[in-house]
Amino acid sequence: MYKVEINFSGQSRVILFRGSGCRKTMFDGWYDHLDRAEAGEDIRSIRVWGTARNKTDIVLEWPPVRTVTRSNATGRCG
C-alpha cells in the first residue's frame, strides 16, 4: 500500500494506492497527480509512504527535510 500526500497551496490532498501492482500504478501516474493543481496553485510539499508488512517508511519527501549534523548544530536550546 502507498499513500501520497500533496500539499497544494496549503491544502493537503491524499491519494491511496492498494492492491497488486500499486507501486507501478503510483509511479506511472505520478505526473497525472501533479497535473491536478489548478491555475495559481503552488505545490508546497509531497510525501509518499510505503507500507510493507507492519512497517511504514517514507519513500519520498519533497522538499527534503534538513537533518541536523554536528557541523550545523549549536548545542543550545531555545
pLDDT tens digit sequence for 13-65 = 898 988 888 888 888 877 787 787 778 888 888 888 888 778 877 778 888 76
C-alpha to C-alpha distances, 53 to 1, 50, 75, nearest whole angstrom: 10, 10, 38
C-alpha to C-alpha distances, 33 to 67, 75, 76, 78, nearest whole angstrom: 28, 41, 42, 40
In the predicted structure, residue 73 carries a pLDDT above the cut 60: no
What pairing do the DSSP bridges indicate for beta strands 2-8 and 11-17?
Answer: antiparallel
Higher model confidence: residue 66 or residue 74? 66
pTM across the whole model: 0.66
Sign of the alpha-carbon torsion through 21, 19, 60, 53:
negative
In the predicted structure, residue 71 carries a pLDDT above the cut 70: no
| Helices of type H across 1-78 | 22-28, 30-34
pLDDT band (50, 70, 90) for residue 66: low
